[in-house]
Structure 1
Amino acid sequence: MNAEAKKRYFQELTLNLRHEGFTVKPETEDGLLPVELNGRRLCLALDTGGVRYRREDVSGDVRSEALEQVLDIAKITGEYMSQMETAPQLTAASLEGDYRLLTDFNGVVLAGHPTQFGVQFITWERVQNRTALHQGNYYGPSDGAGSYTAAKQGFAVRSGLIPRSALFTQEQLAETYRCIRETLESACPITDERQKCLESAAEQIEHGVPDLAARAALSNQREMELTAMESPQDSGMQFS
Structure 2
Amino acid sequence: MNIYQQELLRKVQTLGCTGDYDETSEKMNVRYEGILLCKQDKDGYLTYDARSFTPTMCDKLEEIKEQAAAIREYAGMYETAPPMGISDVPEYRRMAEYGDTVLAGMYSEQYGFMFTTWRQSADKSSVAHGDYSPNFDYAKESFITRSGLLDRNRLFTEDEAANLYRCITYTQDNYDSLTYKQERELKSLEEKLQSGYPELEDEPPSFEQADVPQLNM
TM-score (normalizing by structure 2): 0.75
Kindly, what percent of the aligned residue pairs are identical?
27
Q: Given that residues 58 and 67 in structure 1 are in contact (C-alpha distance below 8 angstroms), is that contact kept between their aligned partners in structure 2?
A: no
Q: Given that residues 57 and 63 in structure 1 are in contact (C-alpha distance below 8 angstroms), is that contact kept between their aligned partners in structure 2?
A: no
Cα offset, 1:199, TM superposition: 4.3
- Alignment pair present for 1:79 and 2:73: yes
Cα offset, 1:210, TM superposition: 5.9
Q: Given that residues 5 and 44 in structure 2 are in contact (C-alpha distance below 8 angstroms), is that contact kept between their aligned partners in structure 1?
A: no
1:18 to 9, 13, 17: 13
Q: Which amino acid aligns with 1:122?
A: T
Unaligned runs of 5+ in 1: 1-5, 141-146, 232-240
Q: Given that residues 36 and 42 in structure 1 are in contact (C-alpha distance below 8 angstroms), is that contact kept between their aligned partners in structure 2?
A: yes
1:31 to 26, 32, 39: 26
1:127-172 deviation line (CA, Å, top 9, x unaligned): 26432111111112xxxxxx11111111011011110022223454
1:76-124 deviation line (CA, Å, top 9, x unaligned): 110110111111000225x144100001111111100112222111111
2:156 to 149, 157, 168: 168
Q: Given that residues 83 and 90 in structure 2 are in contact (C-alpha distance below 8 angstroms), is that contact kept between their aligned partners in structure 1?
A: no
Higher helix share: 1
1:150 paired residue number: 138
- Alignment pair present for 1:99 and 2:92: yes
Pairwise mapping of residues 182-221 of structure 1 onto structure 2 (< 5 A)?
186=173, 189=176, 191-209=179-197, 216=203
1:48-67 deviation line (CA, Å, top 9, x unaligned): 4443232335553x544443
Instruction: Give the Cα separation in 1 of the matches to 2:27 and 2:168.
Output: 38
TM-score (normalizing by structure 1): 0.69
Question: Are residues 206 and 106 of structure 1, via their aligned partners in 2, closer, same or farther at CA, if it must alter by over 3 Å?
Answer: same
Instruction: Give the Cα separation in 2 of the matches to 1:202 and 1:39.
Output: 38
1:235 paired residue number: none
How many matched pairs?
A: 213
Question: Are residues 57 and 119 of structure 1, via their aligned partners in 2, closer, same or farther at CA, if it must alter by over 3 Å?
Answer: farther
Query: For 1:55, what is the secondary structure of its paired residue?
Result: coil
* Aligned-residue RMSD, C-alpha: 3.6
1:56 paired residue number: 51
1:3 paired residue number: none
Instruction: Give the Cα separation in 2 of the matches to 1:18 and 1:113.
Output: 21
Query: For 1:92, what is the secondary structure of its paired residue?
Result: coil
Unaligned runs of 5+ in 2: none
- Alignment pair present for 1:88 and 2:76: no
1:25-55 deviation line (CA, Å, top 9, x unaligned): 2024433333344554433334444432323
